[in-house]
Structure formats: C-alpha cells, structure tokens
Structure 1
Amino acid sequence: MTKSLNKSWLFLLVTLLLLVLAACSNTTTTEESEPEKTTETGNTEEGTSEESASGGISGDLEIQYFVGGYGDAWWKEVIADFKAAYPDVNVIEHAGPNINTEMNTRWISNDPPDVVYIDGAGSSETQMIADGQLLDISDWAKGLTLEDGTPLLDSFISPAEELDGGKIYSLPLVFDTWGIWYDSAWFDAQGWEIPTDFDTWLASMKQIKEEAGIAPFNTTGQYAQYFQRGVLNPAFAAAGGEQLLNDLADGVVEAWEREEVLAVMKKVEAIVDAGLVDSGFAAYNHTQSQMNLLLHQNAYIPVGFWLPNEMKNDTPADFVYGFVPTPMNDPGKSMALIPDIRTIAIAKEADNPEAAKAFLEFIFTEEYAQKFAESTGAIMNMKNVDLSANNRVPDFLKGINDMINEPGQIEIHNRNTPEGDREKEIAVEITNEIKIQIVEILLGQIDAEEFVNRMTNKAKELRGM
C-alpha cells in the first residue's frame, strides 16, 4: 500500500515536471521562430523602415576635415544630423588643425578616409588629383538636384572645376574670398569714407595717416601670399579680366609684359611711396597683423572671410568688422573678387563610397548654408541663399552675400587649376617668386618696373626662353 502510494506520487511529480518543461519549450519556440511580417515584395517591415529612412546606406564612414579659422561647430552639427538621418552609418571623424599631416600616411598607403574636406596646411587638391587619390564623381554629381529640383551644379556661385576633359573630382563647398578689412565702427566715428576704387582708397589711407598718425595699411610679410591673393590677384583681374589673372599665375611671359600689369604695380608703388605701409610688416605673421588691426595700429589689412571667427577671442567689444572687395579697380570700373574655394571630395579608394555620396548630398541645402554662415562667418558656395533675415549672421557677410548675388555690383573671376604636371610646376614656381618680390616692393627696395622685369625674367626662365 505504501509502495503503491509512493509510486503514484512519483508518477504525478514526473508528469507535472514534463508539462512545465513542455510549456517553457513551446514559449521559447514561439518567440524565436515566429516568422517576421513581410510586405508584398518580401521585405520585412523592419527592413522597409530602415530602407526608407537611410536608403540602405550603412557601415563605417570616415570623414577628414581641417579645423582652422572656421572652427568645427558646423561640422559637429551637420555630422550629428547626418547620423540621425542615417542611423545605420557609424561616422568616424578625423579632425584638427594638423589633420592633413596626421592622415598623410593613410593616404600614401592607399587606406584613406571616405570623405575629405580639402583645406589647411598640408593639403593640395591639385596634388591629390595628380596622384590619383580622388574619385571621379562626374556622372553622379551631374544627377544631383536641390529640394526645388534645381541641378546642384547650376546652384554654385563658383562652379565645380572640370579637368581632364570634363571630369569632376570635388564639389566646391566654401566660398571664401580675399578683400580688405577695417573697423566699421571706428570709420563711422571718425567720418572716414569706405573706398570704392583705387583713387578713393589711396585718398582714404592718406587721410587716416594724417588724422590718426598711423601707417594705415598692413599685411604679413612672413606669408606674402596674403598680399598676393588679397591685393594683387583682384587688381590683375580688375585690370585685365580672368584670362590675364590666370596667365600671370601660370607664368605666361606675354602676360607679364602687358601694360596692365605695370599699371597695377604702379599703384602698389604709390602706396609704398606715400609711406602708407606698416614698416614692420615683413616680420609679422598673419596673427600679428590681424591683432594690429584690432588695436587700431593699422586701418586696413587683406585677409579672407575667416578673420572674425579666427580672432573672436581677441576682438574688442566695440570693434565691428567691415569688409570691402579690394579697391584696386580704376574709377568707374567694377571691383573684382577672386573666389578662394574650399572643396570636399571622395577618396578613390574609399571603403564606403555610397555613404560618402550620401553625406555630400546631405550637406548641400539651404538649411546648412544658413548654419554655415552662422557658425563660420563665411559663405557656403550656393547661389540665392538669403541671409538678410538671419540675425545670427554678421552684417558684413550679409552685405557681401548680397553683392555676390546681385549682378553688376562686382565681378567674380575664377583662378583655374593648370592642367599638366609641368604647367602645375611652373605655377608653383611663379607663386614662390611673386611672394619674394612682394616683400621687396613693399619694403621700397624695388620699384614697379623692377618687379615686372624680375617676374618676366622668371617666366622666361621657366619657359626655357
């Protein structure tokens, strides 16, 4: 009787245990093996959601960008927004003031990042193209449109450069330009007029010298390209147009022999002879010359759009940045602007070119053009972006943006990249020689004729004449 009862209890316990195990087993199987709901095309609902949100773009995306006078606030914001729009993309940032040098080994070893913003020391788009490091994006770029359907390539202030028979290797992201900066508040207080041509500029500098007791013009002698890009290039373009500008930069002998060139250098000589150039300029780096402007030790300097952002921590509270296209033009003639474009490109050996293309397409919008102006004090290279109602954009930038988008006020002349290895070498040598002679003429050690003679002889030497 006892044995029979024990067996009954044992049987009951085993049966209950089996039922519990079976129930657990059924629950697990149901959760793990329940088929995913599908659409009519066979895609899962989860997959459809990801596809619509990010277009199937995923994986690591490496972006290299230089951090200089424009800062990195815009990059941080646009990358954060891109991550939100493309949640399956893992963005890896390589950034900083020395990033071009730090990433050089990656490029040499054919293991570059996917996207590169080409700016700052140690970067050269011309060299990268010559070395075959950038992806030909011609066909893809020609198919891009803005939100209103306008082709992106038709929406640039300065066009995307086409090389090698129409190939496009980069998109022009930043429209910077060199011009003359001054303290607008100081000028208003003193009653000084803003120059519109060379005659009024020369008269303005003479008046400032007399009334303020300072040398009104300053530049950096350590980086003489500031004077080349900020004064000479717009002067040459205003005098002879885009063709003369490019021929001079490319070392065409006949260009250096033209009378317009001597006329421009005579204007420089007039500034020097009137004692209007800061006597210490040759020893100044760019930061020192910019500080001198902020401290009213000088009244005019040639710099690019990055100046206010670069010097924001040193700018006096009552200083108001003013900008005018370099007034080296003759009276009655248009002032000239030479775009100083910063481009963005995709590496030819990019591991994730599709994500890279998605990123480039993502940033060229009215929204990010507005934010770029807010964050950097410079202009994104897009036409018809109305900055007038944006209270976060400085007045000087609104003014120059209006001038750029209003035909007839100024003339924009593009500096083109020379094609062919030898032509590129000549352009580099000509630039190096110009920088040497700029210091010489601003010191008063040579006159306009000697400057032109030396440059003409250098062009002949490089051309084997």
Structure 2
Amino acid sequence: MKTVNLVLLSFVMVAVLLAGCGDNKKNEPAGSAGNKNNTGSTAAPDGTNSSSEADVYADNGLPKNEKVTLKMGFWESGSGRAWMDLAVKNFTEKYPNVNFDITSTPTLETILEPKIAAGNDEDMFDLFIPRFLAPGQLDRLAQSGQLEPQDDLWDRDVPGETGKKLRSVISDDAYETSLSVGFTARVPVNGYTAGLFFDQKLFDEKGWNKSPATWDEFTALLDQIKADGLIPITFPGVYAGYLTDYVFNILQFDLAKANGKFDEYLKNFRNYDGPLLTTEENKEAWNRMYEFGKKGYFPAGVAALNHTQSQMQVLQHKAAMVSTGDWVGNEMKDSTPEGFTWGFMAVPAVNDPNQTVFVNSGVGDASFVIWKNKPELQKKWAKEFILSLYDFKVQEALASEAGTYPGRLDFGEDPARIAKLQPTQRTVMEYATKHSVEYISYRHTFGLTSPQSGQAEKLLSELITAVATGKKDPVPVLEKAEALKQVAIEKDRPKQ
C-alpha cells in the first residue's frame, strides 16, 4: 500500500510529449444554447426570496433553467475516450440544463492552432485540452490573458465530500505545476509514468534480465538482446522526444544524485539558473545515447516510425523494448496477442545496486483550460465540469478505462479502487517495489516563450534520430541550442 500511495502521490510532473490514436469524432449537442430564461429571484411579501432556492442548484448556486452548451476540444490520446463519455453522462444527468458539443480527435493541435490564430472567440472552444504544435504556446496564451484562471477551484469541495477541499487531494508538485504560468490555468486530473516497456513472457523465455539494478547489468541486457537477433530498444522517430523525454533526459538526474549534488542540480534546473543543456550530466546522457546508436541498439529506419508502429515492433517481437508511457497497454489492447504481459523498467545510470532510479512522470491528457473571452455562465459551468472529474466514479474510469493514474492522492486508500488499475500501471508499481524509485518531471518555475527557445527545441528534436543512429555527435548541437536557450531565459525570466 505504501508503494501504491507513493506512485499516486508522485504522479504529476511536467511535461511532456504524448501521442495517441483513435478516429476523429464529433458529438453534436443534445440541445441548443437558447431559451435564456430569467432566473432572478422573486421577493415574497415577508421580504424573503421565495424562488431562489428552487431556481438554482444547491451545490453551486448556478441557474437550473438557463440552458448552456459547452464546446469542448478533447485530445483523444492513447487513453481513449470512454472515461470522458462517462464523465459527460454523469454530469448532464446531474445538471440536465447543460449540454456538450465535443470535438474529439487524436490531432487536436491541428484544430486548436487555426482557431487561436483566427481570433474568433465565438468559434473557440469553451474548454479544451491544451495540445499544441508550437513549444511554449500554453505559456503565451496565459501571459496574454487568453485563459481563464481556475484558482478558485482549489478551495472547492471535491464531489460528494463536504469539507474535503480539492487542494487537499492534489500533490504539492501537481499544485506547483498548475501555477507555473503565474496562476492556475489548469488542474491535473490524471497522470502518467514513462520508460521502457516490454513483453515479460518473452524476457522469461529468453532468460533476459527484467529488472537490471546497475548500468553494467542494463548494457549487458542490451548486448544479449542484440546477440539474440532483436532490436534492443525502439522508439517513434516521428515523435523522437519519446526516447529523450522518457529515457535519456532522465539520466542527468540519476547522475547528479550519484554525484551528491542532486538538490542543487534540480534547483538550478527548475529555475533556469546556469547551464541547462550543457551540464556534464546532460552531455553524458546524450553521449550514452550516441554510443548506443553506434552499437546499433535502435532500429535503422527509426526516423519513419510513429508511436503505434514502434509499439507494434515489441508486440511482434521484432524489438525487445519500446520507449513509451504506461498508456501503452490501453492504446495497444486491440493488437496485443494472447499471453502478452507488459513489463516495465527504467534505466539505472550507475553501478551502485542501491542507487536512486528516477522515472519520468507527468500530467496526463485530461487537464482542461478555459478560454477567457467567453460568457461568464459558460465559464462557470466549465469549471463545474472540471471539478466533477474528481468524482471517484470518473477517477476509477481513468484507472480502468483510460489506463492512467488518477489524480487524487487518496485514490490508493481503497484496495477496491487499486484493483481497477490496468496491468500496465500495476507493473510500474511492481518495479517500484524492487528499486529505490523517485518520480520526477521536467517542470520549471516559469515558461519560455521567446522564439529562441523554439529554435533550440527544433535543433534538439532534429538531433535525436541522428544521435540514435550513431551519425552525429550531440555535444556541438547541445552547445548551439544552449546559447539559444540562454537568450530565451534572459528574455522570459519574470522581472522581480
């Protein structure tokens, strides 16, 4: 139970780079947004309000008789949509005057960006998952005043539990992540962990080490896999950040911990103090990836692979491990052969078997932002819907249907709720029982929105597959990207 609660306590970090699959779908609203009835109170002869309680909902004070349609942009990632359909069903049954017009797609960014550029507030979604093509877009929208603050939600009671405030069931790191743009632009409803996932049955059959405790044990495993004719590690070259964000970027923290300077390193990382990309620890992590590339540990044609194709390589036993997130079990369930059981491992960076092993963890794909320039009543109902996602029925659906970690800290207090977690999440917990695991994110205390940051990210993105195929020394590009990042940091650092 202690391990379970640790995982659930630690789930929320920054972020990240997830992708999903699914068909584009559009749900038309069940009713129109018309019929704007007068919901004002009527004064009785004794001076009391005779109809105010009848005209508003007791739990939130919003009008019962005024119909509202909320336009939602939903990013349908590997977690699927079933949990969201349940959340909407429960909400509209409780508040029948509210309808939803949902645009659900795995490529929400291709819809969001044109809507934002068009500047048509009426056409814009009322609430949406902030999935963008451009780095720093969330910070830019927040800084330009286009997102509605949700700070008031922290002091609201969670659904059905009078006196238990939302803030009390959210981890400190999740709370700080929510405030990273200067105010609460979104609240974390779920989270994920990421690393290397594999077929446990195949590892057992081959006699491969499913839980290496040291760097030498890990590299010996890769050598054994390659000798047995399989690709040791695959990843989606189309979304190359899966390899860095979920595996190799984490190594800098492992190395800093082993060097005895983790606290200072993390503080500098969070606050953008000093070098970001050219620390000795980060260069070492990239150089290890480069060495793996020269040894042929990654697929030769990796640049053309998307996320599902790379995951299929593991399902088809063409590759032994794939760099991805714990949503993989849910995302690939229709393609998973009988007897296949996902396993998980992180990378131990040094040769101390008792070392701390860091695991990437972050905010999932269920955190909504609200568009600022919308009618007040629509924004209030959007907040009510976001709050409703913390109902245990929805949180359980996130576990059982979406294959992700629920956002509530107290989720793990009930064994019946723990049993609803999918096997992929449970295998991450099992790994945590065998190692000294610490969950970590790439969260910073402020965002970078200057063009130089985007230019640096482009250099890094293009570098990954070149390094993973052993074609390019990473250090010169890291130095060039560092110079651009430092310009952006200087421009974007909040003024005291």
Scaled to the shorter chain, the TM-score interval is: 0.7 to 0.9
Distance 2:115 2:282 in 1: 43
Determine which of 333, 336, 340 is the counterpart of 1:319.
Answer: 340
Aligned-pair distance for 1:415? 1.9
Distance 1:122 1:463 in 2: 19
SS at match of 1:159: helix
Structure-2 residue corresponding to 1:395: 423
Q: Return the TM-score normalized by structure 1.
A: 0.79
The one-character-per-residue Cα deviations of 1:323-365 (angstroms, maximum 9, x if unpaired) are: 2234446533212123332421222123212211211111113
Structure-2 change in CA distance of 1:407 and 1:125 (3 Å): farther
| Greater mean deviation of Cα atoms: 270-279 or 248-257 | 248-257
1:271 aligns with 2:292: yes
- Specify which structure has the higher proportion of helix: 1
Gaps of 5+ in 2: 1-43, 257-261, 491-496
AA aligned to 1:230 is Y
Structure-2 change in CA distance of 1:377 and 1:328 (3 Å): farther
Determine which of 45, 48, 54 is the counterpart of 1:48.
Answer: 54
Structure-2 change in CA distance of 1:203 and 1:69 (3 Å): same
The one-character-per-residue Cα deviations of 1:190-221 (angstroms, maximum 9, x if unpaired) are: 332222443322121222222x3212111222
Q: Return the TM-score normalized by structure 2.
A: 0.74
Determine which of 225, 228, 252 is the counterpart of 1:208.
Answer: 225
Does the CA contact (< 8 Å) of 2:399 and 2:405 recur in 1? yes
Aligned-pair distance for 1:106? 4.7
The one-character-per-residue Cα deviations of 1:166-206 (angstroms, maximum 9, x if unpaired) are: 42111122312321110122223333222244332212122
| Greater mean deviation of Cα atoms: 196-205 or 393-402 | 393-402
- Give me the identity figure in percent: 21
Distance 1:81 1:251 in 2: 43
Distance 1:148 1:319 in 2: 44
Structure-1 residue corresponding to 2:469: 443
Determine which of 435, 441, 447 is the counterpart of 1:414.
Answer: 441
Structure-2 residue corresponding to 1:34: none
Determine which of 358, 373, 376 is the counterpart of 1:349.
Answer: 373
Determine which of 245, 262, 267 is the counterpart of 2:283.
Answer: 262
Determine which of 142, 165, 184 is the counterpart of 2:154.
Answer: 142
Structure-1 residue corresponding to 2:208: 192
- Determine which structure has greater relative contact order: mean sequence separation of CA pairs < 8 Å that are 6+ residues apart, divided by chain length: 2
1:459 aligns with 2:470: no
Determine which of 120, 132, 135 is the counterpart of 1:109.
Answer: 120
Distance 1:67 1:223 in 2: 17
| Greater mean deviation of Cα atoms: 413-422 or 254-263 | 413-422
Structure-1 residue corresponding to 2:12: none
AA aligned to 2:105 is G
Aligned residues: 423
Does the CA contact (< 8 Å) of 2:343 and 2:427 recur in 1? no
Does the CA contact (< 8 Å) of 1:74 and 1:372 recur in 2? yes
Does the CA contact (< 8 Å) of 1:63 and 1:91 recur in 2? yes
Distance 1:115 1:109 in 2: 15
SS at match of 2:188: strand
Does the CA contact (< 8 Å) of 1:253 and 1:459 recur in 2? no
Aligned-pair distance for 1:150? 4.2
Displaced runs of 4 or more, over 6 A: 37-40, 245-253
Aligned-pair distance for 1:73? 0.4
Does the CA contact (< 8 Å) of 2:214 and 2:350 recur in 1? yes
The one-character-per-residue Cα deviations of 1:366-410 (angstroms, maximum 9, x if unpaired) are: 332211011111112222422754554322313435778x99942
The one-character-per-residue Cα deviations of 1:256-315 (angstroms, maximum 9, x if unpaired) are: 443222332343244334432222223322222111111010111111222222222221
Structure-1 residue corresponding to 2:409: 383
1:336 aligns with 2:358: yes
SS at match of 2:374: coil
Structure-2 residue corresponding to 1:159: 174
Gaps of 5+ in 1: 1-36
Structure-2 change in CA distance of 1:162 and 1:379 (3 Å): closer
Does the CA contact (< 8 Å) of 1:74 and 1:371 recur in 2? yes
Question: RMSD value over aligned CA atoms?
Answer: 3.6
Structure-2 change in CA distance of 1:244 and 1:148 (3 Å): farther
Larger Rg: 1
Distance 2:112 2:89 in 1: 22
The one-character-per-residue Cα deviations of 1:412-460 (angstroms, maximum 9, x if unpaired) are: 22322564665x53433332222222222211123xxx41232113322
Does the CA contact (< 8 Å) of 2:213 and 2:435 recur in 1? no
Structure-2 change in CA distance of 1:463 and 1:117 (3 Å): closer
